[in-house]
Amino acid sequence: HALGSKDGEVLLYYCYCEVKDPEKLCAWQKALCQHLHLTGKVRVASEGINGTVGGSKVATNLYIEVMLSQPLFKDILCREDFKSSAGGAHCFPDLRVGVFEEIVPMGIDPKKVSYKETGIHLSPQEFHKEVEQHLSQASQGQSDTILLDCRNFYESKIGHFQGCLAPDIRKFSYFPSYVDENLELFRNKRVLMYCTGGIRCERGSAYLRSKAVCREVYQLKGGIHKYLEEFPDGFYRGKLFVFDDRYAICSNEDVISACRHCAAPWDQYSLCSSQHCRQLVLACPRCRGEGLTACCALCRDKERAAAAGQAPKEECDCTRRRPRVPIERVSQSTLAAEK
């Protein structure tokens, strides 16, 4: 039947609002998703809700209708807040709905840094104009703006805005330390922030503003998702990383990353073949065919040894060597060089 049909989509949305009873909202949300045969991940907290769900188009449409009529979100959430892309229930292994401290895991108490203190939201058109101006000024070494990607290194590696600063961080909870250790970089600058769907910028911009070093902090409303709907051939090049089994969605033909083994252009991730590792690897079909399916030599050795009874680790030895928070040394000429 229609609810289970393969021709579907994936929705991405969030809503910041005061939730008096997160447990109750969580139970309602879980029942709703199960009823509509949706899979995906939904985070509920006292500060709101954040979800990415997949199912048939009939199901996702019904989901939007119900969400918009829920008294909690009624005056805050609108249809525009849902970003959609081709996909379906098959894009997620299961349905996970839970109550958390934060709806996006930054690791900072929402009472200390509130979503209410965000930067100035720019529409995709406004953001596009700002980036255009920044790139033309940067090419003359005159830009006082930093175009900041607040996603993880493996996301920005396969797609990003031209002339951006992309921190080498492995997860969003490292972003605050990154800001703390690079405060001088942001002093008296105008900062244009962006992320996938806008939610990381809500807390990220609030954190940056709390440091009182930037002249102005702006953020892309609706994230890269909404920008690409209006500017598929704009200043964002490469793929958009997504947190489901698709790994990436595409709006232009550019391939901006390379196979980690032979350096041929390649931007499709696969999981490291060692069962003790959850790293994403860029390995082209030829290298994979030659057995290069692990993320590093250590994982390859582990795999060969197939060591029984070892507890899976969150990160393999090659990422443990990555500095937790890199200190950026960025000159304006570097920013301009990408143009």
Provide the greatest CA pair distance for the chain: 59
Strand order in the sheet with 120-122: 120-122, 216-220, 190-194, 145-149
Among the listed residues 26, 91, 195, 284, the single catalytic one is 195
For 114, phi then psi, to 5°, come to: -95, 150
Cβ-proximal residues to 289 (8 Å cutoff; 6+ apart), any chain: none
Cα–Cα distance, 290 to 274 (Å, whole number): 16
Q: Of the candidates 79, 27, 35, 75, which has an alpha carbon nearest to the alpha carbon of residue 59?
A: 35
Concerning whether 17 is annotated as a catalytic residue, the answer is no
Cα–Cα distance, 301 to 230 (Å, whole number): 46
Cβ-proximal residues to 209 (8 Å cutoff; 6+ apart), any chain: 117, 118, 119, 217
Catalytic residues: 195
